[in-house]
Chain A
Amino acid sequence: MNGDHILSWIVYTPAAAGLVTLLLPRTAERAIKAFAFLASLVPFALALQAARAFDPARGDYQLVESAPWIRTATYTIDHHLGIDGISLLLVLLTAFLTPLAVLSSWNSVTRALKPYMASLLFLETGMIGVFCALDLVLFYVFWEVMLIPMYFLIGIWGGENRVYAAIKFVLYTMAGSLLMLVAILYLFFANGATTFDLPRLAHNLSSGALRLTSAEETWLFLAFLLAFAIKVPLFPLHTWLPDAHVEAPTAGSVILAGVLLKMGTYGMLRFCLPLFPAASLASAPYLCILAVIGIIYGALVAMVQPDLKKLVAYSSVSHMGLVVLGIFVFTTQGLQGATLQMLNHGLSTGALFLLVGMIYERRHTRAIAEFGGLAHGSPVLAAVFLVVTLSSIGLPGLNGFVGEILVLAGAFRRSPLYAALAASGMILGAVYMLRMYQRVFLGRADRPENAHMGDIGLREKLLLLPILAMMVWIGVYSTTFVRPMDASLELVRQRILHAPSPAGGYRVDQQERRTLPPQDRTDGR
Chain B
Amino acid sequence: MSNFDQSIVSVSGRLTHQWDFTFYKNNGEIANRVRAELGSAQKQITIDRDGDIEIETNEVGTFYVTPGGVVAAGWLTDSKSLLVQQEVGSFTRTVDSIVKSKGSFATETYNVRFFFRFRPGNSLSLLREHGFKNILESVLGDQTPSDTDSFKFSTSYRKGGFFDFLELEATPKDVQLRYSRNGSGADFGSYHKFLEAVDFAGIMKDLKPFAEVLLLAEPQGVLGRRSLLSDFK
Chains A and B are bound partners: no
Which residues of A does B touch, CB under 8 Å?
Answer: none
Which residues of B does A touch, CB under 8 Å?
Answer: none
